[in-house]
Amino acid sequence: MEFDSQSYEVLFATDTTLQFNTLKFTPLAIKPKVEKTILVPATQKSVDNDDLFVDSVANAYLKQQNTQSLAIGILKNGQTKSYFYGETAKGNQTAPTKTSTYEIGSLSKVFTAILLSNLVEEGTITLDQPIALFLPDTLKKNEELSKITFQMLANHTSGLPRLPDNLDKVKGFNENDPYKTYDKKALYSFLASFKNNKKPGEEYEYSNLGYAVLGDIICSIYKKSYDQLVKDIICKPLEMSNTFQVLDPKRKDTFKVYNKDGQEVIPWSFDAFGPAGGLKSTLEDLLKFANAQFKMPQTPFENAMANTRLFTFFLPPDTDLGLAWHMNLIDDLTVYWHNGGTAGSSSYLALSPDKKSGVIILSNSAISADDKGKAILDYILRKK
């Protein structure tokens, strides 16, 4: 029996004629239950305000039409936390995990820039060298290419357009998987007749093509595939075991991707454009990658990573460029960031080495989560 403010145990007793002769009320002793706290008043110490804030941001994203899943990692003063939301496929009621595979799109460019910086650290090249020195003789005939340096490719000031005009002219082109058949032959065909409408080094134009060229030269120098270089030079020392370009169809943690209309699409495949946007990774691996950016460099490879964050170009009104990295200020703190997007995935990574803090957001939806990542990072950096 329950009253408004108290619960009681009630004892009834009868005599031999089954008439009630006893009625006793005793306050009910309730054993406390141990439960997971979901929401408690903000004044109580058991609240983790970081968790509540990330939850609110994630829920705001997932309330948008046609969003799918989110894997979010935050780094705060060198400590990491992971959060997982939504479904890996429509209707499967399965949230992602730390080892779920995501396309990271143009975030791959940061990895390519590290490979470039590693060549500089080894003394093989310099950033101000013309790329024509490392191109086939057939391309050296095009004097336009002799005016472009490695740094210009890496900070998008080479004058190369975002995409080549022969992308959709290669044999087997499929608009649903646009980079799959664009190979070295097609790339060289474009470069052979390229005419630059800009003065190299003076104007920013984001260029996937520039990173395809950069990656091709890097692979030629090392005589290895892009996939293998990423694994050998970056993933091995950082113990990242689930970052790669070529997706193994047998992977059990692979899941579906969805476009902005909520329709399932195929993950993109890459050939020559792999260094511009072809990598797949996991939240677990990218947290390792992010944490590595906070370390004081002590090895040549760590120097190579750090040097990608050095200033190379100013983009008005308020953005600096390193090698691949974009840099902005939050108050007096420099934030290094890059994002990525494919037909069915989006990614965002931003770091503040000074605070050893950052955020990673991965989604298997083409709907961007950049603004959510910025909100979380702003919260982390400004929280007292």
CATH number at residue 225: 3.40.710.10
Q: Which of 9-18, 214-223, 337-346 has the lowest mean pLDDT?
A: 9-18
324-374 residue pLDDT tens: 999 999 999 999 999 999 999 999 999 999 999 999 999 999 999 999 999
The answer to whether residue 3 is domain-embedded is no
Distance CA 363, CA 343 (A): 12
pLDDT at 272 (0 to 100): 99
Q: Is residue 41 part of a domain?
A: no
Owning domain of residue 100: 49-382
Is 311 a domain residue? yes
Residue at 167 is within a domain: yes
* Count of residues in the chain: 384
- Please give the angle made by the CA atoms of 153, 159 and 163, to the nearest 5 degrees: 80
Residue 8 lies in a domain: no
- Residues paired with residue 83 on neighbouring β-strands, in sequence order: 72
pLDDT at 383: 77
Residue 15 lies in a domain: no
CB atoms within 10 A of CB 229: 24
CA-based diameter of the chain, in Å? 117
Q: Is residue 340 part of a domain?
A: yes
- Output the pLDDT for position 1: 43
If one counts the domains in the chain, the total is 1
Integer Rg of the chain from CA: 27
Note the pTM of the prediction, 2 decimals: 0.87
Does residue 28 lie in a domain region? no
CB contact set of 124 (below 8 Å; sequence gap of 6+): 221
